[in-house]
């Protein structure tokens, strides 16, 4: 499964963080947020393009390559795919993104115990 690009720019950063915790967002998905571009790394939204007061960032001195080397192969591959997408120009990312609101039926189904 390829990572999704999800547009969360209409949410404030706190709301965007919350969405990553319960929405249909998966490891490696790319997140367009008001502070820039992030990827979901496990359960943590991590900024790729700029610092954020809300989302996480890599530890000082740690590169993405070093971080990927510490992950299991399948997790590293999906995160690497998301990071590759995150490097696309902002207009390309926006054109390929799904708006978070379009994913809300999936959230409702997950909360109800079903699948969308």
pTM of the entire predicted model:
0.87
Q: Residue 71: inside a domain, yes or no? A: yes
Q: How many residues appear in the chain?
A: 116
In total, how many domains does the chain have?
A: 1
Give me the mean pLDDT over the 79-85 stretch: 97
Q: Domain residues for 13? A: 5-111
Decide: residue 107, CB within 10 A, 0-12 exposed, 13-18 middle, 19+ buried.
middle
Q: Which pLDDT band, with edges at 50, 70 and 90, does 107 fall under?
A: low
Average per-residue pLDDT for the chain: 89
Question: Is 106 part of any domain?
Answer: yes
Is 101 among the domain residues? yes
116 falls within a domain: no
Strand 98-99, strand 44-47: pairing? unpaired
Is residue 51 a part of any domain in this protein? Answer: yes
6-46 pLDDT, tens per residue? 999 999 999 999 999 987 899 999 999 999 999 999 999 99
Q: Is the pLDDT of residue 47 over 60?
A: yes
């Amino acid at each position: 499964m390829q990572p999704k690009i999800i547009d969360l720019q209409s949410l404030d950063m706190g709301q965007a963080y919350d969405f990553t915790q319960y929405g249909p967002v998966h490891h490696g998905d790319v997140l367009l947020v008001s502070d820039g571009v992030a990827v979901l790394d496990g359960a943590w939204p991590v900024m790729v393009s700029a610092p954020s007061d809300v989302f996480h960032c890599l530890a000082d001195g740690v590169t993405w390559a070093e971080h990927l080397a510490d992950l299991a192969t399948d997790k590293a591959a999906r995160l690497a795919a998301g990071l590759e997408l995150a490097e696309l120009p902002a207009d390309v990312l926006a054109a390929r993104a799904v708006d978070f609101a379009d994913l809300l039926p999936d959230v409702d189904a997950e909360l109800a115990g079903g699948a969308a």
